[in-house]
Homo-oligomer: A and B are copies of this chain.
């Protein structure tokens, strides 16, 4: 067997990524926090935290609770606002060697539009990811992610003001994800990210109160992987013609392969980075090894392969 290096490159929303592995928004800070432990230029892309128009302090603590094979978070979109993001947070990524994707959130369509416009002016930004799915603020985007109508309106409005590649991140807290995915595609999104966190909560039985300051939070980590794989599978089966970025509980290359085989062109790593900071690197290496082992020349060959009988 020849030891040809497999081709891991993929295209998402018109961007060519060196490999299909990126961090998940909100788990990788502003991209620099993990730079000691992970070479940014080795990543398919760098995805930074949700950015809103005005600064947001975020929710009252506690913001994190561990749960079985997962965690709840209720950060509440803490961020310094798009002006500071553009001025201070993005410039250090200018030469990071990977495309930079900025996750955007807001309370109204106008908020998103304003953020998208401001980010469009930054040379550092390669793509926008619309966060239509944050469960952790009263009006932080999830309302847009629950019904096709409002979602389409949001995506169209952002689409109208940006020529950047546009990714829409969907909420899993819905009865059927396919109509939402379809609405986003029809409104002009170039790619879909799925999934954001599942809405959950935990109760402190001694204090008899919710553990999180925000009462509910978003469940992430390995616990949710079966739900995430199922949603990627469903959206892939609908054949909407845009690439999918799969995420939710990926800890290893094998987990990432479940998403790719289910139909994801790329994957994102969230909670796993907290546990093992170089998970992205391990996944990239593991995908390459899988390809070599199985004679797969390009990772693109196996996207959605589990749908073929």
Q: How many angstroms from the CA of A227 to the CA of B219 in the assembled complex?
A: 8
Chain B residue at minimal CB-CB distance from A293: B206
Contact A306 B230 (CB under 8 A): no
Chain A, interface SS category? mixed
Report B-chain residues with C-beta under 8 Å of the C-beta of A261. Answer: 203, 205, 208
| Interface residue from B68, B215, B217, B230 paired with A223 (Cβ < 8 Å) | B68
Q: How far is the CA of A167 from the CA of B278 in the complex (A)?
A: 48
Contact A306–B225 (Cβ < 8 Å): no
Selected contact of A69 from candidates B68, B200, B205, CB within 8 Å = B68
Number of copies: 2
| Complex CA–CA separation, A217 to B230 (angstroms) | 9
Q: Does any Cβ of B come within 8 Å of A67's Cβ?
A: yes
Q: Closest CB of chain B to A62's CB: distance in Å?
A: 14
Assess the A258–B222 pair: CB atoms within 8 A: no
> What is the distance, in angstroms, from A52's C-beta to the closest C-beta of chain B?
24
Closest B residue to A72 by beta carbon equals B226
A209 in contact (CB, < 8 A)? yes
- A205 CA to B306 CA, complexed, in Å: 9
- In the complex, whether A157 has a CB less than 8 A from a CB of chain B is no
> What B residues does A233 contact at CB under 8 A?
201, 210, 215-216
Given contacts A67-B225, A203-B229, A208-B302, 14 further A-B contacts (CB under 8 A): A67-B226, A69-B223, A70-B226, A146-B176, A173-B175, A174-B174, A199-B227, A200-B226, A201-B229, A202-B225, A203-B261, A205-B290, A222-B223, A223-B223
